[in-house]
Structure 1
């Protein structure tokens, strides 16, 4: 179970990072290619050989005057992109959600999977000092500080940081509280960046990422410059500037007007309007967000598995993707993580079956009709549209859906414990993380209220199983159970859309939002 970088050759509001169901903390990040420099690009025969030089300006929705460059406080997409430019993590996720080495050169567990040895690669900080084990332990202990509210804290919960130690300058021994076969996911966790030992302020941050800090005005811009000593090779760009444009219209107009060369987060309608104009390049980051409905399994009517199955069969997934996402996505199969490591692709795609749905509802005592309130909100693209579409679909099965539009600012907290049926979405994360944070009895964001001790035991068995084939089989058992009777009605997976100037090259296509190659500007160049 030894992993080294040589295995991977080179090659809460709408603006909140797409890390979890709403604003909840979660692990995240991902990429298409390997640790030593994934180089998936937007393709095209005119890309040619990368050219060095030039400045790229990237427009993101920002966080206002309270923005910080503290990488452990990343919350918005802009925060995550800036942190990636300035800092690095021990690992990051590939597009299949498997952990790929970054600052970690290798990792290896003991036989019982409760002690992991991580060897660091030779890497330097922007001031020339080497990245060391002391930096790693300082960073993780800072994140795990109970007096702070860092998003990665939950991901590091399995580590006994008091017992963990530096064997030497480039070797860290992590001792865990329990067997954890998927420990590399912790190293890749969203926000788990490594900072210099002792660092607590970030006014002029010294990072180890591909770009060095030049200047920063919160709520306006961050200017960075190429770091020639970056361990994964110096960026092609001379300079990279992050600018703030909160409204989508402002971002696309800045791109069209030549004020920026990269516009993050466009809706499908905008993308279609400009895709064939020749003025910009549209890049679709496939499979970036799960879209679905949460059925709360601990209360009527969804405490009856027959009702849950009926709702699975009511959904016309293609109509939901086409209507709520304007076709910018693919249909789901009531499981999280399509295309990710451990995804149970062998489970047949569920199809709409109104006759069977009506039969199940009759068996559950709802032959005379059923009325359910569906909570939704404009908090995310397509939520209100999906609710209205599903309302019409349910009516064909004799179910009355009452759509309730809630407050976007409080939607996620309101629907975590309240109500019976609600729109939901989730960004990229490993299937293991999705299960541990949302589907165990003590999971912190268990919106479906799925609580089954035998299911919890399957998860524990998986984490104590060193053999990957056996572990994969356990994950499939869990997913078959969820597909049959779980509380997530996953109807689709949405694309994430960015746009660039026509002379920008090297933007990864196969990198869902918040993954290694997403917003990876060290591999971008100007043609």
Structure 2
């Protein structure tokens, strides 16, 4: 059941609300330190308590409305998709056992594996079609709508209970990526109330209080094998210091999204296990291209040129990361690595700003991600070197992401991993649900549609390169770096894999066990 966001969160002092989570802090750490490192044979039982950054009253367990990492982790615990993304951003079958295209890539036949919902009913083709139709509802703003946009859902049909025939609006060689889209979870036909949700994931729902706690229990009939844990609890703490202190204090066993500074401070600490996925977290600033002053391409170019990426990586990430080149997806398939790395050029930036007549900007930020406020402060100083007055606007962490989607001029931004095509479809098309840079160009949309309709791999790469070159030249994303994605656990926790956020092996609590 849901409740208003009145329960306290983990604070800087890690004062836990009365959700049954409090334990003896020192004894938990001492026990972890004293556990036998060789005793890693998988065991069954126990409750894992994980802490994530939260979103207050905006938190949700509607799997089609997921936005925050905490939302995604909750959805992943209870629901399944037809496919998910591997670390290389290639689609991996999940509820789908296989997918087969016709000769012209416009009709794809998806075979479902035998799986069961938490209420004992089978997962059917009708559930898949209902779920996708709900996501595609034109009156809603579900984030996955853009991923499913290539599908003609009126023409698609269930061949039988375990076979779906998807008819596409145009040829699409990368159709499996649609099935793995962020938030494309399968729910039982007719589901629209998620106060007590029913899914087909590894855990079944127990309780949820937005801004406080979430509890699920092992689902023994999970198609991929019952989880080893009896119970999973997710609590929230916006401040990173609260998350690491909760771990060190033994109040949780898993802490999500830690900074490189925290990781460096805890290297060699036997009370903590660090799990790091190199370069998988994009960091930058999102400029609104539809309003002053960033509707002027010269101002965006100036920001690109003012950014000292090396300083940001060294200061914010303690050197644990790679510099960015104002493009998403470093190291992923189709990334335009041949576009020359942008270098800082203070004088060229000054000239562009003088031509544009810009004297001040307002930079939005909040403590919603590791290093957000620090990066904003450093970048503000870099911009001030050009004679620009920069006001830093500290927004409410609970409402930050919903506010900066439509408000402000420029905002601190980050992204987990996804295919480059998904980044474009979700964030850069006219109808994209999370178009934070307000990038609206009909010719760009047409170029992306041409890309998606192209089966020839060489031509596809040419189009990917053209799209990325345009974004590099005049887009609204200033991507200064790619950080290692870092989580930490107590030594008593095993089975946490190194994986970029939002991929198959991220937040795979069904594969975790405890001493």
Fold match by TM threshold 0.5: yes
| Aligned partners of 1:289 and 1:493 also within 8 Å | yes
Partner of residue 359 from structure 2, selected from 359, 371, 389: 371
Residues 39-54 of structure 1 correspond to what in structure 2 (within 5 A)?
A: 50-54=41-45
1:60 aligns to what SS in structure 2?
strand
Look up the match of 1:27: none
1:142 lines up with 2:134 in the alignment:
yes
Question: Which residues in structure 2 correspond to 1:306-325 (within 5 Å)?
Answer: 306-325=298-317
The residue number in structure 1 matching 2:392 is 404
Aligned partner of 1:380 among 368, 371, 378 = 368
Aligned equivalents of 2:91 and 2:267: distance in 1?
A: 33
Question: Taking structure 1 as reference, are residues 74 and 380 closer, same or farther at Cα in structure 2, changes over 3 Å only?
Answer: closer
Would you say 1:152 and 2:141 are equivalent positions?
no
CA shift for structure 1 position 126: 4.1
Distance 1:216 1:384 in 2: 33
1:406, CA displacement in angstroms?
A: 4.4
1:435 to partner: Cα distance: 1.8
1:429 Cα offset (Å): 2.7
Partner of 2:426: 437
Q: Does 1:240 align with 2:231?
A: yes
CA drift at 1:466: 1.4
CA distance, structure 2, for counterparts of residue 250 and residue 388 of structure 1: 22
Is contact 1:313–1:351 with CA below 8 Å preserved after alignment?
yes
Query: Compared with structure 1, are the counterparts of its residues 414 and 127 closer, same or farther at alpha carbon in structure 2 (3 Å cutoff)?
Result: closer
Equivalent residues, number: 474
Provide the residue aligned with 1:465 in structure 2.
454
Hey, what does 1:515 align to over in structure 2?
503
Q: Specify the alignment match of 1:57 in structure 2.
A: 48
Q: Structure 2 vs 1, CA of residues 102 and 392 (structure 1 numbering), >3 Å: closer, same or farther?
A: same
Q: 1:271 aligned to 2:263? A: yes
Mark the runs of 5 or more structure 1 residues left unpaired by the alignment.
Answer: 1-44
Partner of 1:252: 244
CA distance in 2, matches of 1:257, 1:234: 30
Alpha-carbon deviation of 1:414? 5.3
Distance 1:400 1:92, change over 3 A: same
2:94 — aligned with what? Answer: 102
Match of 1:32 in 2: none
**Cα distance change of structure 1 residues 389 and 365 upon mapping to structure 2, 3 Å threshold:** closer
Shift in CA distance, 456/259, structure 1 to aligned 2, threshold 3 Å? closer
In the TM superposition, what is the alpha-carbon distance from 1:94 to its structure 2 partner?
1.7
Distance in 2 (CA, whole Å) between partners of 1:239 and 1:383 is: 35
Question: What residue number does 1:87 align with?
Answer: 79
Return the offset for 1:519: 0.7
**Would the aligned equivalents of 2:298 and 2:353 in 1 still touch at CA under 8 Å?**
no
Is 1:525 the counterpart of 2:503 in the alignment? no
2:483 is the alignment partner of 1:494: yes
**Cα distance per residue 1:351-409 (max 9 Å; x no partner):** 22335x25xx53x582798523142222534343323322332344x342422314335
Q: 8 Å contact 1:279–1:502 — kept in the other structure?
A: yes
Task: Decide which of 284, 288, 296 is 1:292's aligned counterpart.
Answer: 284
Q: Distance in 2 between matches of 1:379 and 1:140?
A: 34
Shift of 1:97: 2.4
- C-alpha change, 1:348 and 1:187, in structure 2 (3 Å) is same
Q: Distance in 1 between matches of 2:60 and 2:303?
A: 44
**TM-score (normalised: structure 2):** 0.81
1:28 maps to none
1:188 Cα shift? 1.2
Partner of residue 36, structure 1 = none
TM-score (ref. length: structure 1): 0.79
How many Å separate the matches in 1 of 2:318 and 2:122? Answer: 49
CA distances 1:247-292 after superposition (whole Å, capped 9, x unpaired): 5455434433434321223344443333322011122243343222
Partner of 1:349 in structure 2?
341
**Counterpart for residue 133 of structure 1:** 125
Alpha carbons 1:56, 1:261 under 8 Å: kept? no
Distance in 1 between the 2:353 and 2:141 partners?
Answer: 46
C-alpha distance in structure 1 between counterparts of 2:144 and 2:456, whole Å: 27
Name the residue aligned to 1:117. 109
Structure 1 residues 505 and 487 mapped into 2: Cα distance closer, same or farther (>3 Å)? same
Matched with 2:18 is: none
Which residue of structure 2 lines up, in the alignment, with residue 426 of structure 1? 415
Distance 1:119 1:467, change over 3 A: farther
Query: CA separation of 1:367/1:132 partners in 2, compared to 1, >3 Å: closer, same or farther?
Result: closer
RMSD: 3.3
Alpha-carbon distance between aligned partners in 2 of 1:480 and 1:455, rounded to the nearest angstrom: 12
| 1:220 and 2:209 are equivalent in the alignment | no
Superposed CA offset, 1:27-57 (max 9, x none): xxxxxxxxxxxxxxxxxx9678641313241
**In 2, Cα distance between equivalents of 1:46 and 1:483:** 48
Q: For 2:394 and 2:120, how far apart are their aligned partners in 1?
A: 51
Is the contact between residue 82 and residue 242 of structure 1 (CA under 8 Å) also seen in structure 2? no
